[in-house]
């Protein structure tokens, strides 16, 4: 059987892939050696800017199957009947470290799902925690800068990490999650995923509901202690990637059950705390989990760069029946995610195979730009309206309109009767066993005791005291003991 011929990128056959063309046997190389220049130029450009956050990631393909009727709450087509299946791509990631970081570290995990629906791609972008550190996107760059490498030292600095948290009391809830037992998942397969934000569902009658998504792992929750995480990171920095890849390759397909919490839109205004605050959870006693379907991952990407690194998720990719809420962090991310991909991958990143619709075809008037591949022929127009049978608007909004009132300007979120930055952090602490509390205290004290300024330590201690008196006392005692050693 004859072998296929190696060619240049323009398709010309390559005569010699072992030796560069030179001026004589021992002479300098020739500029006319197209194959050499093409190989070196492409090699120089093999890497794109890594994500500022969520750089270190893994991904897999699979399917989502509806198991329960939710048509009373949304008219989204991919959720319209029990048994309906939709192809998905899921990307997991750490948040703070760079592309070369280790997997088994104490850090939130990204949990992003792309549903290739018949009405277009729906991206659900979340984490493995139901809350986040901040509630307003204007603070997001500051938060990330405080958690990543210092511009001078080139490493993560406890002073920066805890200084930001000292000035962000709303972070206390997420800090309690992060420093607790679930701060280092044993693998991507053994953690939950959450939409985290509040979203809107709209049914066929136009009724609006606010929802929160919960992907519960069917493998069971498994986590690592601080010591186990350090050992794992040293043995195999790619431990989560290795686990996911090998499990799927040997036919062990990880799965999650999707549940939602559903709040009738009319109840949001008078709920006891702001239901659109990303630093808070909705108590299950108020809004119990309702099962929706099952997510299964059963196929590894063939090329990690093409399909994981170039995968682009954006929470503004909605489908009919699903839309945004007044969640401020979500509102900021509706712009920021898509803009990050336009920077990293180019304006035509949606034409890449992993990002393009699979169950339908994108039809619009976008043309040209870097790596454009949608010329669409000589008769296709690039303006609308037109008289040439181009795609037209439907006149049907994807979701129900959100009511607005008041004056433009910068506003703090209106206070509800039970709004507070510490109560839910205290509730989480009080749910823990004595052993879980002890590990949480040790994890917090291990970081906070390294802070150089006493006033910064005192500000953070005040947050734990406000969450729960015992919580604050134990953290304070543990920090003092470590600083006196």
Q: Considering only CA atoms, which of 247, 289, 109, 88 is closest in space to residue 182? A: 109
Q: Confirm if 58 and 246 have CB atoms less than 8 A apart.
A: no
Placement of tokens 């702001």 in the chain: 274
Query: What string of DSSP letters covers 94-159?
Result: ESSS-TTS-SSSSS-EEEEEEEEEBTEEEEEEEESSS--S-S-GGGHHHHHHHHS--TTTSS--HH
3-state secondary structure 405-433: CCCCCCCCCCCCCCCCCCHHHHHHHHHCC
Angle between helices 226-235 and 434-448 (to 10 degrees): 60
379 conformational bin, left if phi > 0, alpha if psi -120 to 50, beta if neither? alpha
Show the tokens assigned to 367. 């043309």
Closest-CA residue to 473 (of 460, 461, 455): 461
Catalytic residues: 54, 127
- Round to whole Å and give the CA distance between 429 and 176: 7
Left, alpha or beta for 175 (phi > 0: left; psi -120 to 50: alpha)? Answer: alpha
């Amino acid at each position: 059987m004859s072998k296929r011929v190696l060619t240049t990128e323009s398709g010309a056959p390559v005569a010699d892939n072992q030796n560069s063309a030179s001026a004589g046997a021992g002479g300098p190389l020739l500029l006319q050696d197209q194959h050499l220049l093409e190989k070196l130029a492409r090699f120089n450009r093999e890497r794109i800017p890594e994500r500022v956050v969520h750089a270190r990631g893994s991904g897999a393909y699979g399917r989502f199957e509806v198991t329960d009727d939710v048509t009373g709450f949304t008219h989204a087509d991919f959720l319209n009947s029990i048994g309906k299946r939709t192809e998905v791509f899921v990307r997991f990631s750490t948040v703070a470290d760079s592309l070369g970081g280790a997997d088994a570290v104490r850090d939130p995990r990204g949990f992003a799902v792309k549903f290739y629906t018949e009405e277009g791609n729906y991206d659900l972008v979340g984490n493995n925690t139901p809350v986040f550190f901040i509630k307003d996107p204007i603070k997001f760059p500051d938060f990330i800068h405080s958690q990543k490498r210092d511009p001078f030292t080139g490493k993560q600095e406890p002073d920066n990490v805890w200084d930001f948290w000292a000035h962000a009391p709303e972070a206390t809830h997420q800090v309690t999650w992060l420093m607790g037992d679930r701060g280092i998942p044993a693998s991507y397969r053994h953690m939950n995923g959450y939409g985290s934000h509040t979203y809107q569902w709209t049914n066929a009658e136009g009724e609006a509901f606010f929802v929160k998504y919960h992907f519960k792992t069917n493998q069971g929750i498994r986590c690592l202690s601080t010591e186990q995480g350090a050992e794992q990171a040293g043995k195999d920095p790619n431990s989560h990637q290795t686990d996911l890849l090998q499990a799927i390759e040997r036919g062990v397909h990880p799965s999650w059950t999707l549940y939602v919490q559903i709040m009738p839109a009319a109840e949001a205004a008078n709920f006891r705390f702001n239901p659109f605050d990303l630093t808070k959870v909705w108590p299950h006693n108020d809004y119990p989990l309702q099962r929706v379907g099952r997510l299964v991952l059963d196929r590894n990407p063939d090329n990690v760069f093409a399909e994981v690194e170039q995968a682009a998720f954006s929470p503004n990719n909605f489908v009919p029946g699903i839309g945004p809420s007044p969640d401020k962090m979500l509102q900021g991310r509706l712009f920021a995610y898509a803009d990050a991909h336009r920077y990293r991958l180019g304006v035509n990143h949606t034409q890449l195979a992993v990002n393009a619709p699979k169950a339908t075809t994108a039809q619009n008037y976008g043309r040209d730009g870097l790596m454009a591949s949608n010329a669409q022929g000589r008769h296709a127009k690039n303006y609308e309206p037109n008289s040439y049978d181009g795609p037209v608007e439907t006149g049907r909004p994807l979701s129900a309109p959100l009511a607005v009132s008041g004056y433009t300007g910068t506003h703090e979120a209106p206070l509800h009767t039970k709004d507070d930055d510490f109560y839910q952090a205290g509730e989480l602490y009080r749910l823990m066993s004595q052993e879980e509390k002890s590990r949480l205290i040790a994890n917090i004290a291990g970081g906070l005791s390294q802070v150089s300024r006493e006033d910064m330590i005192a500000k953070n201690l005040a947050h734990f005291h406000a969450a729960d008196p015992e919580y604050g006392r134990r953290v304070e005692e543990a920090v003092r003991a470590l600083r006196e050693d």
